[in-house]
Structure 1
Amino acid sequence: MNVKDSLLKAFAEAGRNYISGSALAEQLGVSRNAVWKAVKALENEGYIIDSVTAKGYRLSGRSNHLSEQLIAAKLDSSVIGSRIIVLDEVGSTNNYAKEFTAKGTANGTVIVADKQSAGKGRMGRSFVSPAGKGLYMSVILHPEFSIQTAPLITSLTAVAAAEAIESLCKTDVRIKWVNDLYINDKKIAGILTEASVDMEMRALDIAVIGIGINVRRIGDSFDEELSSRASSIEDETGIALDRNELCAAVINSLDAHIAKIESREYLREYRRREMLTGNMITAKVGSETITGKVVGIDRNANLMVETDNGIVRSLSSGEANLCRIAK
């Protein structure tokens, strides 16, 4: 690890405390001049570093730069986050991750980007991903659980991301089946899981979990139509979260939940947060549009809808294209 990366790690471990130049030099085994040069190099990359005479340096809370070192310093996970790759810009973190899997990447590898030029949502929709505003990440899994369990990944990830956000800003995060997170009735995050199957073994080969969270104030990054239904954590709570800290919190929460996916324990929390239950909705299922009352979430994370004739249908995330609360 070079001096610059070691300095970032030291800042992450110090939190909001200042560290003197001499203490940093001793800790890193370099000269104070080398510390100063590393500070300047980080500032040139966009990091904001507070410097106070007789106190030393610290990474400013106003800094909004994504860093592998800053994320890794806050991890408490066993599998997810085994490797972290941070990119300035990418078309889609999911596409990048899928290309990366062909190279035999490690289980639990996380791809994080400051900006996506072609962010992906479910059913071919786009996810607007401006620079500096959100957390756009994909997790590569080599699942050990059965292919029958695979449909649970998205709903489990929704719970993990909701809990991570709540742990940092103490606000209620709701889930709109199956993959969208809401604060104050505004969408602030979406999840897209893509998987490949080993047909010969009839087993799940690789799963790529894409997570997009609007973190900082959106400003004019969204058009009028998108702004009417989507927002960000900061716009809804007034809290400007550290994206590195949020990324680590998502990884930690997802790591803890995914290890117990087959127990379905997370469904209790999913059902508590889910927004559609109790409402009349319309859903597009293939070429059919159905209307009915949502009566719950079944053990496979399907949406249970009671139609006018009293029949309860279980809609899977793979077949239901669009669900809206009926007006």
Structure 2
Amino acid sequence: MNVKTELLSTLAGAGDQFISGAALAEKLGVSRNAVWKAVKSLEAEGFSITSVTSKGYKLNNDNNILSESLIAPYLNTKEIGRNMKVFDTVDSTNNICRELETEKAPHGTTVIADRQTAGKGRIGRQFVSPSGKGIYLSVLVRPNFDLSFAPMITAAAACAAAEAVETFCGGQVMIKWVNDLYMNGKKICGILTEASLGLEMRMLDCAVIGIGINVRKVGDSFDSDLKKTATSIEDETGLVINRNRLCAELLNKLEIYLGRIEDRSFLIRYREREMLTGNIITANVGTETIVGEALGIGDNANLIVRMPTGEIRELSSGEANLCRIKV
């Protein structure tokens, strides 16, 4: 770890407290002049640092650059996020994570990007991922549970993301089955899980959970059509959220909720947030478009729908897409 990286990590860990140049020099094993040069270099890269004579240095809360050094101090996980790679630009964090999986990357490996050029949505759609506006991350998980639990990974991740967002903004976050988060009727987050199955052993080999959250004001980053359906945390609440802190909290919550899949206890929280229940909905199931009343979420995180004939159907995330409230 070089001086700049160590300095950034140390300042992040200090929170709102100043650290003197002398204390930093001693901790890092360098001269005070080297500390000063490292501070100036970080400022040139865009980091916001306050320097006060006789008090020292403090990392400001308005930093909007994603950095492992600014995320790691707020992690309280055992595995998720402990092997982390942060990029300026990638095509897709899911793609990078899947590449790392082939290299035998460990459970919990996390890929985070400031910008995606080909962010993935469901059924081949693009997830618009402009620089400085959101958090786009993917987590590699190697669970030990039976294949039958695999469909619940996305639902558990949705609960984790909703709780993480609410930690910072206080506003209610709803879940549109199965993979979208909403505030005030507009989408702020999408989740895409890509799994590799071990059919012979009836086990899930691994899964890559991709999560994209719109954090800062979208401005002209979204076209007029997208703005009709999508928004950001700041646009809805007026709050400027620290993206690094949100990344850490998301990973913290994700580890908790992944641990609740086998006993299905997370479904209580999922059902509290799910927004289709009680509404007449339409869903594309294969080549068929169905209309029915959403009755609730089943024990496998399936959507239970009552058809006009009275027939009860359970839709799995694998078979249904474009599930929405009928207007």
Q: Secondary structure at the match of 1:262?
A: coil
Measure the CA separation in 1 of the matches of 2:267 and 2:261. Answer: 10
Q: Secondary structure at the match of 1:165?
A: helix
Post-superposition shift, 1:260? 2.3
Match of 2:131 in 1: 131
Instruction: Tell me, yes or no, if the aligned pair for 2:302 and 2:316 is still in contact at 8 Å.
Output: yes
Post-superposition shift, 1:267? 0.4
Match of 1:213 in 2: 213
Q: Secondary structure at the match of 1:42?
A: helix
Measure the CA separation in 1 of the matches of 2:63 and 2:264. Answer: 38
Query: Equivalent residues in 2 for 1:39-188 (5 A)?
Result: 39-188=39-188
Measure the CA separation in 1 of the matches of 2:316 and 2:179. Answer: 12
Measure the CA separation in 2 of the matches of 1:217 and 1:267. Answer: 31
**Cα offsets for 1:266-297 (capped at 9, x unmatched):** 10000000000000011111111111110100
Measure the CA separation in 2 of the matches of 1:82 and 1:141. Answer: 12
Q: Percent of pairs identical after alignment?
A: 59
Q: Secondary structure at the match of 2:220?
A: coil
Instruction: Tell me, yes or no, if the aligned pair for 1:82 and 1:106 is still in contact at 8 Å.
Output: no
Aligned AA for 1:27?
Answer: K
Match of 1:283 in 2: 283
Match of 1:243 in 2: 243
Instruction: Decide which moves more: 24-33 or 172-181.
Output: 24-33
- Unpaired runs of 5+ residues, structure 2, are none
Aligned AA for 2:167?
Answer: S
Instruction: Decide which moves more: 56-65 or 288-297.
Output: 56-65
Instruction: Tell me, yes or no, if the aligned pair for 2:70 and 2:244 is still in contact at 8 Å.
Output: yes
Aligned AA for 1:55?
Answer: K
Measure the CA separation in 1 of the matches of 2:36 and 2:85. Answer: 26
Give aligned pairs, total: 327
Q: Secondary structure at the match of 1:263?
A: coil
Measure the CA separation in 1 of the matches of 2:107 and 2:39. Answer: 33
Measure the CA separation in 1 of the matches of 2:28 and 2:209. Answer: 36
Measure the CA separation in 2 of the matches of 1:11 and 1:238. Answer: 27
Aligned AA for 2:176?
Answer: K
Instruction: Decide which moves more: 141-150 or 195-204.
Output: 195-204
Instruction: Decide which moves more: 143-152 or 51-60.
Output: 51-60
Match of 1:25 in 2: 25
Measure the CA separation in 1 of the matches of 2:309 and 2:65. Answer: 54
Instruction: Tell me, yes or no, if the aligned pair for 2:166 and 2:173 is still in contact at 8 Å.
Output: yes
- Unpaired runs of 5+ residues, structure 1, are none
Aligned AA for 1:199?
Answer: L
Measure the CA separation in 2 of the matches of 1:261 and 1:323. Answer: 23
Instruction: Tell me, yes or no, if the aligned pair for 2:6 and 2:28 is still in contact at 8 Å.
Output: yes
Instruction: Decide which moves more: 152-161 or 57-66.
Output: 57-66
Instruction: Decide which moves more: 15-24 or 166-175.
Output: 15-24
Q: TM-score, normalised by structure 2?
A: 0.98
Post-superposition shift, 1:305? 0.7
Q: Secondary structure at the match of 1:46?
A: coil
Instruction: Tell me, yes or no, if the aligned pair for 2:146 and 2:202 is still in contact at 8 Å.
Output: no
Match of 1:320 in 2: 320
Measure the CA separation in 2 of the matches of 1:36 and 1:143. Answer: 45
Measure the CA separation in 1 of the matches of 2:59 and 2:171. Answer: 26
Post-superposition shift, 1:308? 0.7
Measure the CA separation in 2 of the matches of 1:220 and 1:60. Answer: 27
Post-superposition shift, 1:213? 0.3
Aligned AA for 1:4?
Answer: K
**Cα offsets for 1:25-62 (capped at 9, x unmatched):** 12222211111111122122221212222322111222
RMSD: 1.0
Instruction: Tell me, yes or no, if the aligned pair for 1:66 and 1:114 is still in contact at 8 Å.
Output: yes
Aligned AA for 1:266?
Answer: F
Instruction: Tell me, yes or no, if the aligned pair for 2:144 and 2:203 is still in contact at 8 Å.
Output: no
Post-superposition shift, 1:198? 2.2
Aligned AA for 1:180?
Answer: D
Measure the CA separation in 1 of the matches of 2:169 and 2:204. Answer: 35
Match of 1:233 in 2: 233
Match of 2:202 in 1: 202
Aligned AA for 1:268?
Answer: I
Instruction: Tell me, yes or no, if the aligned pair for 1:82 and 1:107 is still in contact at 8 Å.
Output: no
